[in-house]
Amino acid sequence: MRHCSHRYLYLLLLALFVSFAANCNGGKTSSFVRKGKKSIDMPLDSDVFRVPPGYNAPQQVHITQGDLRGTAIIISWVTQDERGSSKVLYGTSEDSLEFSSKGRVTRYTFYNYTSGFIHHCTLQKLKHNTKYYYEVGIDHSPRRFWFITPPEVGPDVPYTFGIIGDLGQTYDSNSTLTHYQMNPMKGQTVLFVGDLSYADDHLNHDNVRWDTWGRFVERSTAYQPWIWTAGNHEIDFAPELGETEPFKPYRHRYHVPYKASGSTSPFWYSIKRASAHIIVLASYSAYGKYTPQYEWLEAELPKVNRSETPWLIVLLHSPWYNSNNYHYMEGESMRVMFESWFVKYKVDVVFAGHVHAYERSERVSNIAYNIVNGECMPTPDPSAPVYITIGDGGNIEGLATNMTEPQPKYSAYREASFGHAIFEIKNRTHAYYSWRRNDDGYAVEADSMWFYNRFWYAVDESN
């Protein structure tokens, strides 16, 4: 009898332990150990920062979508020696650039720095799914590039996005961009979740580092659109230097088609691309009730037509679900404001940066809590998005390795390594997602999952 009571006690304790583990432990924390080394900015005389040859040659060329549906493109570049021409020649034949469009020029000063001449030109009424060649700097040292417009918006249009965040311009940044370009699963457009140059991490917010970053990424940004999200390193608010206009360098250099979606600010806007409706939000602009961003998002979400664009993707900078002690809970107030909308409208995935590591969540929400009911823990929710933190581009601040323990249940996979991701839409129901660390070969997937669309095929992916 005594033996039986001991056995019963043992089984009871075992059951309690298993229950505790099930309630406290989450998914997988990667066992991969990255060689410890400091993230160092590449020197200014690095090949990747080289100024193109020729007098007043265009540099820092980058493109982004120029309208709501992908029939326009914004082309931006800088001329350093003089203003030069803001005209773009373009056409569908490399031998005959039969069209032209004239842009506008802007400049800015920041403390003891004066920018070059920053050109922005929008090409409109482009054909879908067409390769265009374009030329800039036509008056002195012309340079020619190309891009491919997206397919016409539709529910079963396949399309592949790359996802990069918190890139910077270190040796690790160069590895990230190289891995993205060499990835056998070719991205057609980059969804960039904020923190571009990290110029503000240098003395006096050294804006020369905005120029070097623009030249560094040109090998990708001149040929495919990057969809821009503003991060905290774009704020550049420095009253001690007499600079009190937030986002000044970013706003002058990186234009987006915010007016096309009815936004009043370039920090929040939306576009449609292939079978995706992409919403960009601003973690560092006001989003409380009755603010412009709040009212815009409240009006925007009901406009999303899942019969036309089944995939609803949100980009923002500060993550809402983060089990890293680095920037822990910084996105909480925005989550409180908007998470119930994300669940109501069945957002498929939210990409964020800010935390210099990688993490993927389960489909969870924390919308039941009402102060008095005590239901303040995230719970599984099939209508909720997957939250992916991908602030692991390679910036000068290095990796965020200090993770909370135990790993919470909402966290499916996490790892402190630099890398990038690919989101490959197959049709209205399925998309394949993969994350690849820089330390592996180009084809190696460190984390992956099949996404099932929340509107058309809302089954549990974990099964």
Q: What is the pLDDT of residue 35?
A: 67
- Report CA-CA distances (Å) from 55 to 49, 90, 212: 17, 22, 18
Q: Which residues are catalytic?
A: 327
Sequence-distant (≥ 6) Cβ neighbours of residue 227 within 8 angstroms: 64, 65, 189, 190, 191, 192, 256, 271, 278, 280, 315
Token pair recorded at residue 147: 């891009």
CA angle 254, 258, 260 (to 5 degrees): 135
Weakly modelled stretches of the chain, pLDDT under 50: 1-24
pLDDT tens-place string over residues 32-85:
766 667 789 999 999 999 999 999 999 999 999 999 999 999 999 999 999 999
Beta bridge partners of 419: 437
Q: What is the pLDDT of residue 4?
A: 42
Token pair recorded at residue 216: 């560094």
Torsion sign, CA atoms 330, 335, 336, 338: positive
Q: What is the pLDDT of residue 17?
A: 36
Q: What is the pLDDT of residue 463?
A: 62
- Report CA-CA distances (Å) from 334 to 70, 318, 367, 400: 29, 9, 13, 22
pLDDT tens-place string over residues 1-39:
444 444 444 444 344 333 333 334 568 888 776 666 778
Q: What is the pLDDT of residue 370?
A: 84
Q: What is the pLDDT of residue 154?
A: 98
Q: What is the pLDDT of residue 13?
A: 39
pTM: 0.93
C-alpha torsion 283→286→292→295, nearest 10:
70
Q: What is the pLDDT of residue 26?
A: 66
Closest-CA residue to 393 (of 85, 221, 172, 130):
172
- Residue 203 to residue 188: CA distance in whole angstroms: 36
Q: 192: left (phi > 0), else alpha (psi -120 to 50), else beta?
A: beta
Token pair recorded at residue 192: 């960039």
Sequence-distant (≥ 6) Cβ neighbours of residue 274 within 8 angstroms: 70, 150, 151, 153, 154, 157, 158, 159, 425
The domain segmentation of the chain, as residue ranges, is 152-194+267-462
Architecture in CATH of 152-194+267-462? 4-Layer Sandwich (3.60)
